[in-house]
Amino acid sequence: MEHIIVNLGLLLALAAGLSLLAFRLKQPMIFAFLLTGVIAGLFDHHHFPEELMDAFTEVGIIMLLFLAGLEVDIKKFRQHLKSVLINGIGQILLNAAVGFLLAWFFLGLENVSSALFFGLCLTFSSTIIVIGTLKKRREMKSLHGQIILGLMVLQDIVAVLSLSVIKGMQSGGPLGPELASLFIKLIAVTTVLLLSSQYLLPWLFNYAARSSELLLLTTLGYILGVSAFCEMIHFSPEIGAFLAGVSLAVMPVSSRFQRKNKQVLSGSNPFKLEIEDSIEALKTFGVILFFISLGFKLDFSGIGVCLFPIIVCSLIVLLGTPVLMLLLGNVAGLKSRPAFYSGFIINQISEFSLILATLCLGAGIFDRTIFTVITLSCIATIFISSYGHRYIDLLYSRAGGLARFMDRNKTICSGEYDEVELTNHILLLGYSEIAESVADYYSKRGREVYALVLDPQVFKILQSQNNNVIPVYADVADSDVWAEMKFDQASLIVSCEAGVQMAELGIAGWLTMQKAEVPFLAVTDSRQEARELYEAGARYVIQTDDLAAERLVELFDTELQGEEPAFLESGKKHYQGLKDANNLWIFG
């Protein structure tokens, strides 16, 4: 044990050097971490004991699973339940079935459990890649974004159940009683953590949030405390870490916080972002350790035999998943665009799959050859998929026509509106502070204002409010919605949310094609996006940073003239307005 610091130092120094090289070559850091493990594996295991690498692996898995649990969004799962269940269950079952057949006939896995777990490893999509892509493209609120987030929840549930089964198989005793015991423990631990998230954790984290250092220590103590407790009761500490993350994700604010902020949505953790930021460095450290350990365990002795299965597995995930999502999306009543984007965003093998493969290797379910096939297939799909995400819009424009048969599905557009009488109306795309102001201005002047929203909760709230705003449940990225809501006959269209750039560009182009002289306003916080929107035909782009800067200069003008700064009085009015407002936008 006296060599732990020496070994860890050597590994991290090598990882740092290779990461600099990878960054220089514009390659993912994951490759540098894996290569570090591979190089370490070439040395005598006396220098890098396997027990030490296993310990590193477990630390990395615990941190990864905690972050995966923290990303679970039950609200998104429930919002589009039908589409999520059809696409999610179908994708899991069919991908697993194809993987099972591949393992059975091409890899010679005649053990049913081994082939089944191999199929499951081809099923899960990378939470890190998927969430990163949606955030980078700012499509978390899009229809395909919400469906994908729901799929991630469903995949996480299946993955946790799979991990439970592996733990039962590792015990060596009769499988039936062991699995029954594990599932009882799973239900008990889940129940205790969810109850804690409702009654204990809100108070604890509300207090800990007063200091960033205290919040970090409280979070770490909670993660590792839950994991240690699970180990003590002979339950998986990795699953415990995941459930700890879920309990924090669904944690409501404390009752005291709710009394002060009555408009805050129940069930949302106000400290989630701060928790993620506080453990970001530790998460990165966990990722480094995990992938170094994976590289350490790779076996290249039979790489010639593995090459064909690796290529087949990669093609099944990269190309088969999009085709599968198109077919399932058609069954669920989706149109081509959300189904196409969903398939091409989730077409990679997950870090969850690598965790599952690692545990299967430790349990003797996989040998090192099968483990190597899954790991290298994961690396290939992550690399190609991440690269493909940069060109997904181009792919849809070129290949999306093959899925146009789905566009005969019914338009997602419902609400109390008369399509015949739609003319000279005001259209708000999304609902935010901007939408609230525009709606208030025009409704007071007797104009018909329609708010097109995709969040069922916002839709219901707007329906219950008597504020002269007519809510319409619609996907603003769907061109059929533009025709049905008669965008070309409106007197004003205001896109009120940042992050829907592709839909806005499509609307501007469509209005130009219809030769409609309709003022179209859009919102963005990016200068590049503002320029693109103007070039596409937008009349005015509400660039939030520029407007804020202009307004701030106006507020300072009075001070330069020797008067009391205007921002003092404006700040008081702003604060009072925040207290008095309905703040429906907070539910978005």
pLDDT band at 305 (very low <50, low <70, confident <90, very high): low
Is residue 424 within 8 A of residue 348, CB to CB? The reply is no
Helix-helix angle 81-105:303-315, to 10 degrees: 150
Residues 429 and 395 in one domain: no
Q: How many CB atoms lie within 10 A of CB 20?
A: 12
Residues 63 and 30 in one domain: no
Residues 170 and 73 in one domain: yes
pLDDT surpassing 80 at residue 523:
yes
pLDDT band at 263 (very low <50, low <70, confident <90, very high): very low
Residues 124 and 29 in one domain: no
For the residues 109-128, what does the mean pLDDT come to?
87
Total domains in the chain come to 3
Residue bearing the bigger pLDDT, 16 or 238: 16
Residue type (1 letter), 554: E
pLDDT band at 70 (very low <50, low <70, confident <90, very high): confident
Residues 348 and 441 in one domain: no
Which domain-ending residue is among 386, 406, 426? 406
pLDDT surpassing 70 at residue 269:
no
Is residue 76 within 8 A of residue 268, CB to CB? The reply is no
Per-residue pLDDT at 317: 92
Residue bearing the bigger pLDDT, 507 or 275: 507
Per-residue pLDDT at 557: 64
For the residues 361-368, what does the mean pLDDT come to?
84
Closest CA to 294 of 206, 366, 245, 210: 366
For the residues 45-49, what does the mean pLDDT come to?
61
pLDDT surpassing 60 at residue 562:
no
pLDDT surpassing 80 at residue 439:
yes
| Torsion angles phi and psi, residue 569, rounded to 5 | -70, -40
% the chain with pLDDT above 70: 78
Which DSSP string do the residues of 345-358 spell out, in sequence order?
HS-S--HHHHHHHH
Range in 502-506, 536-540, 581-585 with the lowest mean pLDDT: 581-585
For the residues 504-519, what does the mean pLDDT come to?
86
pLDDT band at 318 (very low <50, low <70, confident <90, very high): very high
Closest CA to 64 of 291, 217, 252, 269: 291
Instruction: Tell me the pLDDT of the chain averaged across its residues.
Output: 78
* Domain membership of residue 533 as a residue range: 413-587
Residues 214 and 76 in one domain: yes
Residues 5 and 40 in one domain: yes
pLDDT surpassing 70 at residue 10:
yes
pLDDT surpassing 50 at residue 232:
yes
The domain that holds 121 is classified in CATH as 1.20.1530.20
For the residues 131-159, what does the mean pLDDT come to?
81
- CB-based burial, 46-68: b 16+ in 10 Å, e otherwise: eebeeebbeebbbbbbbbbbbbb
Residues 206 and 145 in one domain: yes
pLDDT surpassing 80 at residue 304:
no
166-177 per-position pLDDT tens digit: 876 766 656 667
Per-residue pLDDT at 163: 79
Residue bearing the bigger pLDDT, 585 or 216: 216
Which domain-ending residue is among 380, 406, 432? 406
The 3 state secondary structure assigned to 245-313 is HHHHHCCCCCHHHHHHCCCCCCCCCCCHHHHHHHCHHHHHHHHHHHHHHHHHHCCCCCHHHHHHHHHHH
Residues 44 and 55 in one domain: no
Residues 69 and 117 in one domain: yes
Which domain-ending residue is among 406, 440, 466? 406
Residues 556 and 466 in one domain: yes
The domain that holds 572 is classified in CATH as 3.40.50.720
328-358 per-position pLDDT tens digit: 888 887 777 888 888 999 998 987 888 888 8
Number of H helices, E strands in the chain: 28, 7
Residues 319 and 441 in one domain: no
